[in-house]
């Protein structure tokens, strides 16, 4: 599985937006989740709600059931995660000061664009058939 596919697998739809979890982004950026969230809090004016938001309890439960996750993924989930839209991911690269931040940002943006392109160029029937095969 290539890097683009790995990133796309970490993009979820929440509140009608494609987003990535703070913990997945922190891992990719090479920082702890708390360090990532602290950098965001220090730069709160750069992260309006259309760039990031915190999941509600209901959204967390829906996310867990949506991805049929194992206990290893939810282990350590003590707080409701923050999620970042494509714009939020780009903004993260400007507030995180790690050597890999720019490269990760570029890769994530490419993954968002590839998903958007696929969804707009694939017929609804093909998408429905693919979803049905995934459900099976």
Q: What is the pLDDT of residue 67?
A: 65
Q: Which domain holds residue 97?
A: 3-135
| Residue 37: Cβ within 10 Å count | 19
Q: Biggest alpha carbon distance in the chain?
A: 46
Q: What angle do CA 27, 107, 43 make, to 5 degrees?
A: 60
111 token code pair:
């993954």
What is the distance between the alpha carbons of residues 117 and 115, in angstroms, rounded to a whole number?
5
Domains of the chain: total: 1
Average pLDDT over residues 109-125: 78
Instruction: Look over the chain and give the mean of its residue pLDDT values, rounded to a whole number.
Output: 81
- List, for residues 48-72, the tens digit of each pLDDT value: 999 999 999 999 888 887 665 544 4
List CB contacts of 49: < 8 A, sequence separation 6 or more: none
Contact 12, 85 (CB under 8 A): no
Rg (CA), the chain: 15
The sign of the torsion formed by the CA atoms of 135, 60, 47, 17 equals: positive
126 token code pair:
């093909």
Q: What is the pLDDT of residue 1?
A: 54
Q: What is the pLDDT of residue 99?
A: 73
- List, for residues 2-35, the tens digit of each pLDDT value: 777 888 888 898 999 999 999 999 998 888 999 9
Helix axes 86-95, 33-42, angle to 10 degrees: 90
What is the distance between the alpha carbons of residues 75 and 36, in angstroms, rounded to a whole number?
19
102 token code pair:
């720019």
């Amino acid at each position: 599985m290539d890097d683009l596919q790995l990133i796309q697998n970490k993009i979820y739809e929440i509140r009608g937006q494609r987003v990535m979890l703070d913990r997945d982004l922190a891992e990719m950026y090479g920082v702890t989740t708390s360090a990532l969230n602290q950098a965001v809090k220090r730069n709160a004016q750069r992260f309006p709600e259309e760039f990031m938001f915190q999941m509600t309890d209901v959204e967390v439960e829906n996310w867990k059931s949506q991805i049929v996750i194992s206990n290893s993924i939810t282990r350590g989930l003590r707080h409701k995660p923050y999620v970042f839209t494509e714009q939020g991911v780009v903004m993260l690269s400007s507030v995180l000061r790690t050597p890999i931040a720019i490269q990760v940002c570029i890769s994530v943006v490419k993954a968002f664009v590839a998903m958007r392109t696929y969804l707009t160029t694939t017929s609804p029937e093909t998408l429905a058939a693919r979803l049905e095969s995934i459900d099976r």
